C-alpha cells in the first residue's frame, strides 16, 4: 500500500487531565474487560548493548482482538530481529494500569515507549512524564491529543471512515430501499480514532441526509468499544424505530457483529452492516452475507513502521529516510507521522487478507463458513 505524501489529521481535543503516576507493573493488549492483567515479554541479543530498551503499551482486548493476535507478535518479532530489548504489556482497559506500566518501564530503563493510549488525557500524562525523563514516545495507531509524542504511526483514519460510508452506500444501492433509514453505531467517544472515522463516514452520509436521499434514525457512540454495550444500544435503536432500520454504519467488526446479533435475535431480514479490522468474525459475517464490508488495515506495515522508528530512536539515530510521510494535528502542534492507506474488503476481494498473510484460510473457512469459501474459490 502506498501512503499519502502528506495529510493533516484533524481532531477534537478533550481536556488533558492531570494524573498521578504509581510504580507498578502489569501487561496485556487489545480488548476484553478488566483491570490490568499482565502478559509481558522481552527479547534481547548480542547487538542489544548498542540500543536502549523499548516498552510497548497496548490498550485492551475489548476494542479489538488485533492488539494481541496481530500487533503483539509482529512487534515482538521485529524487535527480536533487531536485537533490541522490548517489553510488551497490555492495560486491559485500565488507565491507571497503563500509567503504572509506563512508569515501571521508565524505572526499568526504557528509552522509547510505543503507546496505544486508552484516552488522550491519560496518554498525554504518560507522555509528559516520559518527556521529563528524556524518554521518547511514539503514538501507535491512536493519536494523543494535546500530547508530546515524537512521532505518530497509524492509518489515515478519516480515509477509513470514508471507505465505510461509501461501502454502506454501495451495499444499500444493491440491497435497500430508495430512501434508506440508517443507524450509526460509533466507536468509543474517548478514542480519537473513532472521531476521525466518524468524520470520514459523515462526509459521505451527511450529504445524503441533507438531500433527502437517506434518513439518519440513530447515531450513538459505544463506550470503550464494548461489544456487549453495543448490543444493548442497537437493540434499543431497533425498539425505538420499530425495527425499521435499513443499514448500519458500525465503526468496527465487533460493533457490526453486535448489530447482526440483535437483527438475528429478532428474526429480521439481513441488512447491510459495515465494519473494520478484517477480523475472522467480520470476514465470516461477510461470507455469510450478514455484513457487507469491512476495512482492512495491513497491521504488519503499521507494526513494521513503528518498530523501525522505535529501533532508530533506541539507537539514537534519525528516523529512516522516507518513512515519515505526513503530519497530524494533535490540537497543539503538528506531529511527524507515518500514515498508511486502508483498503475496503467485500465478498469480491476477501482473498486479499489471505494473500497478505493477515489471516489464514483456516481462520475463516471453518464449519458452516467452509461452503462459502468453496463458492468463492478461496
Tell me the pLDDT tens digit for each residue of 104-159. 999 999 999 999 999 999 999 999 999 999 999 999 999 999 999 999 999 999 99
pLDDT of 62: 84
pLDDT of 369: 93
d(CA 13, CA 16): 8
- C-alpha cell of residue 85: 530489548
Same fold, 46-156+298-340 and 157-296+344-348: yes
- C-alpha cell of residue 351: 482473498
Neighbour order of strands in the sheet with 215-221: 215-221, 181-186, 247-250
- C-alpha cell of residue 328: 497530524
Q: What is the overall mean pLDDT for the chain? A: 88
Evaluate if residue 101 carries a pLDDT over 70.
yes
Q: Look at residues 54, 66, 62, 69 and name the one whose alpha carbon lies nearest to residue 94.
A: 62
The string of DSSP codes covering 306-374 is HHHHHHHHHTT-PPPTTT--EEEE-SSSEEEEEEEPPEEE-GGGTHHHHHTTSS-HHHHS-GGGHHHHH
Contact 247, 168 (CB under 8 A): yes
Strands annotated E in the chain: 53-58, 86-90, 110-115, 136-140, 151-155, 181-186, 215-221, 247-250, 294-296, 326-329, 334-340, 343-345
The string of DSSP codes covering 99-142 is HHHHHHHHHTTEEEEEE--SSHHHHHHHHHHHHHTT-EEEEESS
d(CA 59, CA 68): 10
d(CA 250, CA 255): 6
d(CA 270, CA 146): 42
pLDDT band at 17 (very low <50, low <70, confident <90, very high): very low
Mean pLDDT of 176-199: 94
Mean pLDDT of 355-370: 92
Contact 40, 101 (CB under 8 A): no
Supply angle C-alpha 122, 128, 130, rounded to 5: 105
Provide CATH code, domain 46-156+298-340. Answer: 3.40.50.2300
Q: Look at residues 158, 231, 149, 226 and name the one whose alpha carbon lies nearest to residue 192.
A: 158
Evaluate if residue 23 carries a pLDDT over 80.
no
Pick the CATH number of 157-296+344-348 from 3.30.70.360, 3.30.1510.10, 3.40.50.2300, 3.40.50.720: 3.40.50.2300
Tell me what percent of the residues of the chain surpass a pLDDT of 90.
Answer: 80
Contact 136, 309 (CB under 8 A): no
User: Of the ranges 28-42, 47-61, 145-159, which one carries the lowest mean pLDDT score?
Assistant: 28-42
Mean pLDDT of 50-58: 89
Domain boundaries in the chain?
46-156+298-340, 157-296+344-348
Evaluate if residue 266 carries a pLDDT over 60.
yes
Residues, the chain, total?
378
Amino acid at each position: 500500500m502506498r501512503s499519502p505524501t502528506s495529510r493533516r489529521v484533524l481532531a477534537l481535543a478533550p481536556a488533558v487531565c492531570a494524573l498521578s503516576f504509581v510504580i507498578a507493573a502489569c501487561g496485556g493488549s487489545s480488548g476484553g474487560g478488566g483491570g490490568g492483567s499482565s502478559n509481558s515479554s522481552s527479547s534481547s541479543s548480542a547487538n542489544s548493548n548498542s540500543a536502549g530498551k523499548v516498552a510497548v503499551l497496548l490498550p485492551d482486548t475489548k476494542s479489538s482482538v488485533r492488539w494481541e493476535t496481530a500487533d503483539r507478535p509482529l512487534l515482538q518479532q521485529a524487535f527480536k530481529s533487531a536485537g533490541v530489548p522490548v517489553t510488551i504489556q497490555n492495560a486491559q482497559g485500565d488507565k491507571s494500569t497503563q500509567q503504572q506500566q509506563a512508569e515501571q518501564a521508565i524505572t526499568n530503563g526504557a528509552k522509547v515507549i510505543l503507546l496505544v493510549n486508552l484516552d488522550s488525557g491519560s496518554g498525554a500524562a504518560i507522555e509528559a512524564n516520559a518527556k521529563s525523563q528524556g524518554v521518547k514516545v511514539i503514538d501507535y495507531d491512536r493519536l494523543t491529543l494535546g500530547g508530546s509524542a515524537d512521532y505518530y504511526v497509524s492509518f489515515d483514519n478519516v480515509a477509513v471512515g470514508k471507505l465505510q460510508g461509501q461501502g454502506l452506500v454501495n451495499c444499500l444501492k444493491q440491497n435497500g430501499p430508495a430512501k434508506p433509514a440508517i443507524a450509526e453505531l460509533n466507536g468509543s467517544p474517548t478514542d480519537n480514532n473513532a472521531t476521525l472515522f466518524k468524520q470520514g463516514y459523515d462526509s459521505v452520509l451527511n450529504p445524503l441526509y441533507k438531500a433527502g436521499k437517506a434518513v439518519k434514525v440513530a447515531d450513538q457512540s459505544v463506550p470503550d468499544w464494548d461489544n456487549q454495550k453495543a448490543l444493548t444500544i442497537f437493540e434499543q435503536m431497533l425498539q425505538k424505530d420499530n425495527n425499521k432500520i435499513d443499514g448500519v454504519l458500525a465503526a468496527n467488526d465487533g460493533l457490526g457483529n453486535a448489530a447482526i446479533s440483535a437483527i438475528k435475535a429478532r428474526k429480521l431480514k439481513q441488512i447491510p452492516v459495515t465494519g473494520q479490522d478484517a477480523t475472522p468474525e467480520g470476514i465470516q459475517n461477510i461470507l455469510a452475507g450478514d455484513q457487507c464490508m469491512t476495512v482492512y488495515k495491513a497491521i504488519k506495515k503499521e507494526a513494521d513502521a513503528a518498530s523501525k522508528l522505535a529501533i532508530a530512536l533506541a539507537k539514537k539515530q534519525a528516523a529512516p529516510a522516507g518513512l515519515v510521510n505526513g503530519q497530524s494535528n494533535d490540537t497543539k502542534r503538528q506531529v511527524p507521522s507515518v500514515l498508511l492507506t486502508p483498503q475496503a474488503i467485500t465478498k469480491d476481494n476477501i482473498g486479499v487478507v489471505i494473500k497478505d498473510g493477515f489471516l489464514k484460510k483456516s481462520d475463516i473457512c471453518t464449519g458452516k463458513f467452509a461452503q462459502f469459501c468453496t463458492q468463492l474459490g478461496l
